[in-house]
Amino acid sequence: MGEMNDIFTLRREALHGIEQRLGMSRRDYLQFCATLAVTMGLPKGADAAVAKAIESAKRPSVIWLHFQECTGCTESLLRAEHPTLEKLILEVISLDYHETLMAAAGHQAEAARKDAMKANKGKYVLVIEGAIPVKENGNYCKIGGHTAIDLLKECAADAAAVIAIGSCASWGGMPSTGPNPSGASSVAEVLGKPVVTIPGCPPNPYNFLAAVVHFLTFGKLPEVDKLGRPKFAYSRLVHENCERRAHFDAGRFAIEFGDAGHRQGYCLYKLGCKGPETYANCPTLGFGDAGENNWPVGCGHPCIGCTEKGVGFAKPIHQLATMKNVAPPLQYARIVEEQGKGATLASAAALAALAGAAAGAAVMLTRNLGLSHAAEEAERAKSEGKPQDKARG
């Protein structure tokens, strides 16, 4: 649980207030902080810092923009349980603009966005959900009379941090699939600079929550990889932590949906699972607070690689993944290997006859070779005028 002395420096009144605010017991709250710290890969004692930050730090203002998307990322966030959405947006962060969740509309909504940007200039977190169309001057997506391009650049100018949530915002996602008539592009491409990306279709809400709490605790976003993905969530291949990995190593694969191997939970590699080339923590975190198995592969469907540009929505679902580490040997047996039948008496007799004939032929060949050699020796001795060896006659 980290440094307990630091935990106990939280005033009892403060913990009681948290209990009332978040609707969580003090024990559950401390476990929640510890879980976030572990999820982010923070060192021992960081859970205390997370607890203090949530208890005492000013809630960060969050402006959430929607562009080319299906709202699936928001729907995923709606299903978070620790804490629930209303606790998250009212007690942990201050969600000042979100077109799906806010009550305001029209001019009032625009005013709320501008007021939040002005009041929190240089301090607010900008979250982008959805790709940004750039063709035809961005006319494929307009909100309040402004194109997605203009809104993004305006809001990003004074943001303390920019987070692209979901595959559409992270790298174009489904809207960017060929022929991509609208020119759907990622947030980083439009802004021309790296941003924190949390890809997935949808991403796990706790990856987003952990990134925001990291910002709240340390005043900066978590360490990211070359694609802008937080390393605490996207540093390992799905294949490495998959519960079906043992079947892959043993050569047990489902060949068709519903076959014996599929029903027994065998590896889905041969059904096109993209886990071997996809970086994400889906198998270890799960979705919907329903357990670790509540993710596509756990439910019997191959991973489609939605967190990887060039894999998700680009490769056909049935296409085999490109192995990033170990390829299955070609000599792996099939799910049901046919067994050979025992030899009949007739076939055994025929085989014995053939074997006997072969053995007899070998003996005769050896004997003939010996006679031929003796004849050659006799001929040579005769030509040289030497007496022949009677033993060789």
* Percent of residues, the chain, with pLDDT higher than 70: 68
Asked whether 123 and 130 are in contact (CB, 8 A), the reply is no
Asked whether 268 and 333 are in contact (CB, 8 A), the reply is no
**How much is the average pLDDT of 317-330?**
78
171 and 282: one domain?
A: no
252 and 195: one domain?
A: no
Whether residue 147 is contained in a domain is answered as yes
Say if residue 1's pLDDT is above 50. Answer: no
Cα atoms in the Cβ-side hemisphere of radius 13 Å centred on 123: 13
Res 198: pLDDT: 96
Residue 273, SS3 per DSSP: coil
Phi and psi at residue 180, in whole multiples of 5°?
50, 60
Q: Which residues contact 361 (CB under 8 A, 6 or more apart)?
A: none
Domain of residue 247 covers 236-337
Q: What is the DSSP letter of 168?
A: H
Res 391: pLDDT: 45
Torsion of CA 117, 119, 120, 124, to 10 degrees: -40
pLDDT 10s digits, 171-203: 999 999 989 999 999 999 999 998 999 999 999
| DSSP sequence for 81-117 | BTTBHHHIIIIISEEEEETTT-S--THHHHHHHHHHH
**How much is the average pLDDT of 158-170?**
95
Say if residue 211's pLDDT is above 90. Answer: no
66 and 165: one domain?
A: yes
pLDDT 10s digits, 57-105: 567 889 999 999 999 999 888 887 766 666 666 667 788 899 888 888 8
Total domains in the chain come to 2
172 and 242: one domain?
A: no
* Higher-pLDDT residue of 131, 30: 131
Q: Residue 2's pLDDT band (boundaries 50, 70, 90)? A: very low
- Class of residue 88 by CB neighbours under 10 A (exposed 0-12, middle 13-18, buried 19+): buried
Res 56: pLDDT: 58
**What is the biggest distance separating any 2 CA atoms in the chain, rounded to whole angstroms?**
129
Count of positions (residues) in the chain: 393
Say if residue 262's pLDDT is above 50. Answer: yes
Task: Find the CATH number of the domain harbouring 325.
Answer: 4.10.480.10
290 and 176: one domain?
A: no
Task: Find the CATH number of the domain harbouring 116.
Answer: 3.40.50.700
Of 304, 321, 337, the residue at which a domain comes to its end is 337
74 and 176: one domain?
A: yes
pLDDT 10s digits, 105-155: 889 989 999 999 999 999 999 999 999 999 999 999 999 889 999 999 999
161 and 286: one domain?
A: no
Phi and psi at residue 386, in whole multiples of 5°?
-95, 145
Whether residue 378 is contained in a domain is answered as no
pLDDT 10s digits, 220-242: 888 999 999 999 999 999 999 99
